[in-house]
């Protein structure tokens, strides 16, 4: 595998044309399924395996799991801001710097796995409550510009699959399971 394939094992997020109700429902179902898929994937990995980067100069499996927790929390907050404010400008953060903090290196996975399960339970209830008007609401991303909530659901369904594939492709390449 080349570096680009290691970085984007499922490719980058792409969706052309209008986003259908079915698209949104499928994406929400993917977000709902991620916590159990993630838990099943990392279950039984050793500490050494958890501290293995999924690619050269990439994050470790442990860092990826902790990143998903932080990233998806940030996303849910962005959804709530967008639903309660008029086109808010959201704050970005330095994901790579967060991944270098002590909790990403030292914390057991259980903390983030449990957090992701609870967070996704709440997030999915929120997402399933959105109507067409809610889905068209937008936030302003400093780098990406205006993003509507329907598209952002797709982006985060992809985000979960993307990082899950980092872990599953590493497990496959290393013949761990």
pTM of the model: 0.96
Q: Give CA–CA dist 145/138, Å, rounded.
A: 10
- pLDDT at 78 exceeding the cut of 90: yes
State whether residue 89 is helix, strand or coil: strand
Domain boundaries, the chain: 20-174
In the structure encoding, which two tokens stand for residue 109, read together? 């996975």
Q: What is the DSSP string of 35-59?
A: HHHHHHHHTT--HHHHTSBSSTT--
- pLDDT at 101 exceeding the cut of 80: yes
Residue 162 in contact with residue 8, Cβ under 8 Å? Answer: yes
Phi, psi of 120 (to 5 degrees): -65, -35
- Residue 129 — very low, low, confident or very high, per pLDDT cuts 50/70/90? very high
Q: Give CA–CA dist 13/18, Å, rounded.
A: 15
pLDDT for 177: 78
pLDDT for 14: 93
Q: Give CA–CA dist 134/82, Å, rounded.
A: 9
Q: Give CA–CA dist 111/106, Å, rounded.
A: 11
- Residue 1 — very low, low, confident or very high, per pLDDT cuts 50/70/90? confident
Q: Give CA–CA dist 42/64, Å, rounded.
A: 11
The position carrying tokens 């780098």 is 143
Helix segments in 8-148, DSSP class H: 21-42, 47-50, 61-84, 95-98, 102-106, 109-128, 132-135
Phi, psi of 85 (to 5 degrees): -130, 170
Q: Give CA–CA dist 73/123, Å, rounded.
A: 9
Q: Spelled out in words, what is the top-level CATH class assigned to the domain 20-174?
A: mainly alpha
pLDDT for 60: 97
């Amino acid at each position: 595998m080349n570096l680009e394939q290691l970085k984007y094992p499922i490719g980058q997020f792409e969706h052309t044309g209008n986003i259908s109700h079915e698209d949104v429902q499928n994406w929400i179902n993917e977000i709902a399924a991620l916590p159990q898929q993630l838990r099943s994937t990392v279950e039984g990995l050793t500490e050494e395996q958890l501290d293995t980067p999924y690619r050269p100069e990439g994050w470790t499996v442990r860092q990826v799991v902790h990143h998903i927790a932080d990233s998806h929390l940030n996303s849910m907050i962005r959804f709530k801001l967008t639903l309660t404010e008029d086109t808010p400008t959201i704050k970005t953060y330095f994901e790579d710097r967060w991944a270098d903090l002590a909790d990403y290196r030292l914390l057991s996975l259980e903390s983030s796995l449990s957090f992701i399960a609870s967070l996704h339970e709440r997030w999915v209830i929120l997402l399933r409550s959105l109507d067409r008007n809610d889905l068209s609401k937008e936030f302003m991303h400093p780098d990406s510009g205006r993003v509507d909530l329907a598209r952002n659901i797709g982006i985060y369904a992809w985000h979960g699959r993307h990082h899950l594939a980092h872990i599953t492709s590493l497990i496959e390449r290393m013949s761990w399971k």
